[in-house]
């Protein structure tokens, strides 16, 4: 394929999963205990999307990758010091909450506005990448709503692989129920792809790529616009850690329908 691509990756920062996360009830909304003190990383699903985007851009001369991220500027700068060494990209930063308790509708509105304002972005060449899921905003709806706000109707969720053809169309390997994949063909961009795990390993750190990225990342962080996330109508009654409970039964040859009925009945007892 010879037509350059413009790939925008939506990815936020999340607390390091090796840390103990304890929710606490705040004055306006819940948060995590000592949230600003917790070490942060790029969301693992978004990281897969970023690596896939960079790999695709490398194979298509003239292509460009943007990373659009919403989070506190101080935390973003810490995380970008590491992420910048992985692959080339241009950062578009929004200074706002990265809390998992923020509303996905408001988050999508902020991200879509930032993407639409990217100078020189051609919607006809746009591929919008992101995580199929999230380690904090696990609503599974944010990326879809960003695509809808940008007028992109072709959307694929649970993507493991895409392969471009000579005519500009591309084949998408998308996860479906039953541990199987669905193969779809999209004639041309624009399209939204929510990535699962992909098939690429994490790139090695490259100090030269890191230095080149940071020359643009630091000014981007300084220009980051405040993005307050409104939560109109959203109320949390309580937050707590999940209860640790384990009840194990070993049953052979039990129909799936019967298993599902028992699970539903057990949930209803909670």
| Tokens standing for residue 98 | 């990265």
Among residues 87, 46, 56, 25, the alpha carbon closest in space to that of 171 is found at 56
- 268 or 27: whose pLDDT is higher? 268
| Tokens standing for residue 84 | 């910048």
Q: How many other C-beta atoms can be found within 10 angstroms of the C-beta atom of residue 134?
A: 22
Predicted local distance difference test score (pLDDT) of residue 246: 74
196 domain residue, yes or no: yes
pLDDT digits (tens, 9 = 90+) for 110-124: 899 999 999 988 888
**Number of domains present in the structure of the chain:** 1
Q: Is 187 left (phi over 0), alpha (psi -120 to 50) or beta?
A: alpha
pLDDT digits (tens, 9 = 90+) for 3-15: 788 999 998 888 8
268 domain residue, yes or no: no
With contact defined as beta carbons under 8 Å apart, do 102 and 227 qualify? no
Predicted local distance difference test score (pLDDT) of residue 238: 67
39 domain residue, yes or no: yes
250 domain residue, yes or no: no
249 domain residue, yes or no: no
Predicted local distance difference test score (pLDDT) of residue 192: 93
- 249 or 82: whose pLDDT is higher? 82
pLDDT for residue 196 is more than 70: yes
Give the burial string for 229-267 (b: 16+ CB within 10 Å, else e). bebeeeeeeeeeeeeeeeeeeeeeeeeeeeeeeeeeeee
Q: Which residues contact 111 (CB under 8 A, 6 or more apart)?
A: 10, 68, 70, 94, 142, 146
Q: Give me the chain's average pLDDT, please.
A: 84
For position 155, which CATH number holds? 3.40.50.620
Residue 142 confidence class, pLDDT cut points 50, 70, 90: confident
Domain that holds residue 159: 6-226
Q: How many other C-beta atoms can be found within 10 angstroms of the C-beta atom of residue 25?
A: 12
β-strand pairing of 13-15 with 40-42: antiparallel
With contact defined as beta carbons under 8 Å apart, do 25 and 236 qualify? yes
The alpha carbons of the chain give a radius of gyration, in whole angstroms, of 20
Query: Which DSSP state fits 172?
Result: E
Distance CA 70, CA 76 (A): 8
Kindly report the pTM of this predicted structure: 0.81
239 domain residue, yes or no: no
If DSSP codes are grouped into helix, strand and coil, which group holds residue 145? Answer: helix
Least confident of 30-34, 72-76, 114-118: 30-34
pLDDT for residue 228 is more than 60: yes
């Amino acid at each position: 394929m010879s037509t350059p691509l413009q790939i925008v990756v939506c990815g936020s920062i999340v607390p390091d999963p090796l840390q103990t996360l304890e929710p606490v009830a705040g004055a306006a909304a819940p948060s995590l205990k000592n949230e600003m003190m917790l070490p942060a990383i790029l969301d693992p699903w978004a990281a897969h999307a970023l690596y896939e985007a960079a790999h695709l851009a490398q194979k298509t001369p003239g292509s460009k990758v943007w990373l659009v991220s919403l989070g506190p500027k101080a935390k973003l700068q810490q995380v970008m010091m590491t992420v910048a060494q992985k692959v080339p990209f241009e950062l578009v930063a929004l200074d706002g909450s990265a809390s998992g308790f923020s509303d996905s509708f408001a988050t999508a509105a902020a991200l879509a506005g930032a993407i639409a304002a990217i100078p020189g972005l051609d919607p006809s060449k746009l591929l919008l990448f992101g995580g199929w899921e999230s380690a904090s905003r696990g609503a599974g709806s944010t990326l879809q709503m960003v695509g809808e706000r940008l007028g992109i109707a072709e959307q694929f969720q649970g993507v493991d692989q895409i392969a471009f053809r000579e005519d500009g169309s591309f084949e998408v390997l998308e996860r479906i129920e039953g541990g199987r994949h669905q193969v779809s063909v999209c004639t041309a961009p624009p399209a939204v792809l929510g990535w699962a795990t992909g098939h690429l390993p994490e790139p090695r750190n490259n100090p030269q790529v890191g230095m080149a990225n940071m020359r643009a990342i630091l000014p981007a962080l300084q220009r980051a616009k405040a993005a307050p996330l409104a939560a109109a109508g959203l109320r949390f009654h309580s937050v707590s850690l999940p209860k640790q409970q384990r009840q194990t039964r070993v049953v052979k040859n039990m129909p799936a329908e019967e298993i599902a009925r028992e699970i539903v009945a057990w949930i209803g007892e909670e």
